[in-house]
Amino acid sequence: MDATVTLTGTGTPLPVPGRAGPGTLLRCGEWAGQVDAGRGTVLRLAELGVRCPQIGLLALTHYHSDHLVGVADLVLTRWVQGGNDPLVVLAPKGPTSRFAHRVLDIWADDIEVRQLHARRPAPPPLDIRSFDAPAEPTVVWRSGDVEISAIAVRHEPVEAAVAYRFDMADGAVVVSGDTRVCPEVERLAAGAQVLVHEACRSEAVRARGKDYIAAYHADTVHLGTMAERTGVATLVLTHLEPAPLTEHDVNAFAEDVRRGGFTGNLIVGEDLTTVPAAAETALST
């Protein structure tokens, strides 16, 4: 099946050249699913040669804007490019689910004029599958060779943030969303081959007076300790805070994780980094 995971964006709310907003693309055979859609997601998909109608599922982790500002772009571009089947949207109940139901409301006039001018059918309704953020790994969607599980994570005060696990024919991939290092992600990642996890160099962030950022993101040293316990073959760092601007900065992320004890394959993510679901090395960056 050649299942892969690709980082469509490794950035944070602050714009940084070369780093789009948070997003992760999963592919298994002809199936493609996207986790979150931050700024620039559609452009990153285009760079990969992926047309938006190829995306059959969008899984949302939580309602922070940096993870969602590209959702309308994805949905509308999918329609403009000829996608006529409903896009499945997974969203935990609460603010994230409410966002999914309202995402096209402000585009009603644009949609109407495009329908009249191009004589195109109305965009297909989103197939929103909302669920209670579960305390234990719980299957929230399955189709063919892909099964998706979710678990609530620790991103308080954000309500009902979740991580997702994709069990595919070639292996299992876990995408953390935004969270502190927590036992929930550890349980979800048990037996997985690849863990895509947000990463925050807490010492550097606190040195800049941004304690509130470090308070609800994943400390890189603690992440290394947790990832080693899970036994995952490959740990991919994304949503990098503070954004690495030099090779020294990139190495600092890796050094923190190694200091925490992780001995597996470690990738400090860049946009378009692609990793096979069943392998231990990056295919491309």
Percentage of the residues of the chain whose pLDDT score is greater than 70: 97
Taking residues 251-271, what's their average pLDDT?
97
Decide: residue 247, CB within 10 A, 0-12 exposed, 13-18 middle, 19+ buried.
exposed
Whether the Cβ atoms of residue 92 and residue 150 lie closer than 8 Å to each other: yes
Amino acid 82: pLDDT: 92
The pLDDT of residue 119 is: 85
Whether the CB-CB separation of 134 and 151 falls below 8 Å is answered with yes
Is the pLDDT at 284 greater than 50? The verdict is no
Q: Would you say residue 283 lies in a domain?
A: no
pLDDT on residue 265:
97
Q: Which helix (H) or strand (E) holds 35?
A: strand 31-35
Query: Does 44 reside within a domain?
Result: yes
In a domain, 151, yes or no: yes
28 contacts: CB under 8 Å, gap ≥ 6:
1, 2, 3, 145, 146, 166, 168, 169, 170, 277
Position 249 in a domain: yes
The total domain count for the chain is 1
Rounded CA-CA distance 92/150 in Å is: 9
DSSP-derived letter for residue 275 is E
Note down the domain range covering 224.
Answer: 4-276
The structure tokens 């329908």 sit at 115
Q: Is 66 a catalytic residue?
A: yes
281 within some domain: no
Tell me, yes or no, whether 266 lies in a domain. yes
- What is the structure's pLDDT at 187? 98
Longest dimension (CA), the chain: 60
| CA dist., res. 129 & res. 136, Å (int) | 18
Please identify which of the residues 36, 66, 167, 219 carries the catalytic annotation: 66
Which pLDDT belongs to residue 280?
Answer: 56
* CATH code for the domain of 145: 3.60.15.10
pLDDT at 250 exceeding the cut of 90: yes
Cα dihedral 167, 54, 91, 143 sign: negative
pLDDT at 236 over 80: yes
Mean pLDDT of 77-91: 95
pTM: 0.95
pLDDT higher for 84 or 78?
78
Q: Is residue 83 situated within a structural domain? A: yes
In-domain check, residue 164: yes
Q: With 60 as the cut, is the pLDDT of residue 1 above it?
A: no
